[in-house]
Structure 1
């Protein structure tokens, strides 16, 4: 019986460690996703500004 309890306790500890590792991975990936979204938004703003500038500078405007 004691071996069974030890085995269950070890399994529980292993699952806790796995859970913590997965929670950290989720936090890391969420931070990376947020950073990429921010970079994408900034890049879109730069592209929009360039397109606006091109449409003002080119004769006849910019046509898509």
Structure 2
């Protein structure tokens, strides 16, 4: 069996590189989807946190003022 020619070697390498490129392209697309999903989840969590902070602030505003100053003299 004759040794592969340099053209055959280059062809084989190009084919390998094309397969690898396609695999990396698919991986990149999947990672981009994950980034988008995680960004949406982060934005949703930030919105929920902001709403919870607003509720806590509203509850704190409803608390009576501290009246310890009159109790300290007794």
Aligned mates of 1:13, 1:62 — CA distance in 2: 67
Tell me which residue corresponds to 2:17.
8
Tell me which residue corresponds to 1:40.
49
After TM superposition, where is structure 1 displaced by more than 2 Å over at least 4 residues in a row? none
Q: Which runs of 5+ in 2 are unaligned?
A: 1-9, 68-74
Q: Which runs of 5+ in 1 are unaligned?
A: none
C-alpha root-mean-square deviation of aligned residues, in Å?
A: 1.5
**What TM-score, normalized to structure 1?**
0.82
User: CA 1:27 to 1:36, structure 2 compared with 1: closer, same or farther past 3 Å?
Assistant: same
User: Greater Rg, structure 1 or structure 2?
Assistant: 2
Which protein, 1 or 2, shows the higher relative CO under an 8 Å CA cutoff with sep ≥ 6? 1
Aligned mates of 2:52, 2:66 — CA distance in 1: 20
Question: Shift in Å at residue 37 of structure 1?
Answer: 0.3
Question: Shift in Å at residue 2 of structure 1?
Answer: 2.4
**What TM-score, normalized to structure 2?**
0.72
Higher helix share: 1
